[in-house]
Chain A
Amino acid sequence: MDKWKKFKESYFLYSFLRDPVAIVSFVVFVFLVLASFTAPFTAPYDPYDTTTISIMDSEIPPVWLEGGEKNFVLGTDSQGRDMLSTMMYGMRVSIIIGIGAVLLQAFLGVVIGLLSGYIGGRVDAFFMRLADIQLSFSTLMVAIFISAIFQTAFGVGKYSEYAVPILVLIIGLAEWPQYARTVRASVLGEKEKEYVEAAKVIGFGSRWIMFRHILPNTLSPVFVISTIQVANAVMSEAALSFLGLGMPVTKPSLGSLINLGFEYIFSGSWWITIFPGILLIVLVLVVNLLGDWLRDVLNPKLYKG
């Protein structure tokens, strides 16, 4: 109860309630997440269940267009799957990969950042040069190349079977330097402070000091980056899937749905591409807006500008 009261009086909540953009983004975001994760219960059809899909139902337009059917509110795709259900399931895949990839990159980045900031010297030089080099290659390009290599090495069949963990791994590996740099910078600032010295004097080990004393004080930039990174990871995943290097068509994410529908756009079935596209934009946009707001709240440095 005490924590709840503290939260109610916090600056965090205050600035949230003052910012209509943040409120709307948050509501939309929660709605999208709920819709995608309750999909097995709320979606009208199960797009993974091939017995309920009939090819006869393919390319039915949305209900408000001529030829639309009441059963398929947003129409169907080229395989006869209900667009609404497939999109809900697809968004779930996109969000899972996005969050999984961010968890992995945050873990890698925080550990490496802590180590290089706290230990310094050769360890620091090595990891930071590595981060510099990798950042200079642009993360999306690295992700495209790694996935291309993986796909050639494993073959398409195996690749699509393990697509979710592989994509998490690829996007996680491609984007850790951002975290590592940020954490390292905050560690360098914190390391010199009295409380760290006090902990050293008491005789705590380096590991304890790093993870129990310094880490909590470097977390606010990590949170800010994480929000933006979720949006980036979702976009990267969509880009990879669109290129055919990501999720297979049988278990589509939003990106592979867009890819699937793209060839049908010329024959007039625009809804297969445009609906998942709009959903992807809305998802990424609200996460970006939330991230922008979070950055303004948690980072008082920016107030001057």
Chain B
Amino acid sequence: MILKLKTLLFDKIWEKLMFAFITRRIIQAVIVMLIISFIGFTIKHHVGDPVRELVGVSVKASEREALREKLGLNDPFFVQYKNFLKNAVKGDFGISYFFKKPASQVILEKAPATLELVFASSILIILLSIPLGTYCAIKPKSILSRLIMGMSIVGVSIPVFLTAIMLIFLFAVNLHILPSYGRGDTVPILWGMWDTGFLTLDGLKHLILPVIALSSIMLPLFIRLIRAEMMEVMQTEYIKFAFAKGLSKKRIWFVHAFKNTLLPVITVGGVQLGIMIAYTILTETVFQWQGMGFMFLEAVERSDTSLLVAYLMFVGVLFVVVNTIVDIIYGFINPKVRISGTK
């Protein structure tokens, strides 16, 4: 009876703590989003003149003034910010000055290219880093591990755009076996909403070099991370106990140790997303890959403020959502986080 009461009480406390933790995380996410939107709005407010973008330079000053009034550009700063937020929630970031289309529509059209690139690289990274990282942790003294670790420090030292340039130089310019830029042939799927390069031979060929380039910087990082975590796990008592119990080595490595290696690797996923976004911008620029990163840089060059702000907000939302989810999942797994509120 007392025991039952105790567990009941514990459950209540646990529920409360979890609720408080999740609420705190969500409030924090909202604050970060507000700050990002404020930065976005400030850029939009101070850079470029939407009236000139709309009508050009050959319109009378009085007509301009009328248009300004109509668009609400003479309102106080915070009234404009409120309107900006209202529209942003609806997904309306204004018209892209270069594409003459809503900025959010431009981003959605460019998104598939980037997502396919990221997806293919992630698969490559997962398939390679797990076996290589584990091997380096299990046999740290072997020649192959040393070779892998040596290669990984060289890999970390080569900027991703240089890897990309050298790949182009070698395979496209000198050997002529792979194409150097663009996405190649794409076919529409999902009722025309998504143009994919996965289904044509040409599209796949165009995918090879960018994927290798994008993976080249993340792969060494993941190998090192997995190796370090795995080596730490291998030192723990329960692994020693498992060996003492006489379990097979393979079972200990892949079932007991590996499970606990993955947790820290998954929780840095939020940061990896940011690294990935930064490197897609670089990779897409080198390969003229028609994705969001390439679009972003073009928007900067053309001072296409609406598009630039829309991209910033899009990445901001993606980020905050992913990080909040990762944090909450981590909170469920690791009880220490919930109470202190910090990692």
Contacts and interface: CB of A to CB of B under 8 A. Distances in A.
A243 B154 CA distance: 22
- Residue among A138, A292, A305 facing the most chain B CB atoms (10 A cut-off): A138
Contact of B231 (A135, A148, A305): A305
B67 interface: no
A129 B343 CA distance: 10
A238 interface: yes
B165 A265 contact: yes
Contact of A136 (B47, B154, B274): B274
A140 B342 contact: no
Contacts of B161: 238-239, 242, 258
Contacts, number: 107
A141 B277 contact: yes
B300 A153 contact: no
A112 to B, nearest CB: 16
B343 A152 contact: no
Nearest to A148: B300
B270 interface: yes
Nearest to B168: A265
A292 B157 CA distance: 12
For chain A, which range describes its interface: under 10, 10 to 19, 20 to 34, or 35 or more residues?
A: 35 or more
Chain B interface mostly helix, strand, loop or mixed? helix
B157 to A, nearest CB: 4
Contact of A262 (B156, B165, B279): B165
B100 interface: no
Contacts of B162: 258, 277, 280-281
For chain B, which range describes its interface: under 10, 10 to 19, 20 to 34, or 35 or more residues?
A: 35 or more
Given A133-B32, A141-B275, A273-B165, A280 B159 contact: yes
Contacts of A129: 28, 342
A244 B300 CA distance: 10
B43 A277 contact: no
Contact of B157 (A133, A152, A258, A285): A285
Interface stretch (B77-85, B237-245, B301-309): B301-309
A136 B297 contact: no
B158 interface: yes
Given A242-B161, A284-B159, 17 more contacts: A132-B343, A133-B32, A135-B271, A136-B319, A140-B275, A140-B278, A149-B39, A149-B43, A153-B43, A235-B159, A239-B161, A239-B282, A243-B285, A262-B165, A274-B165, A285-B154, A292-B153
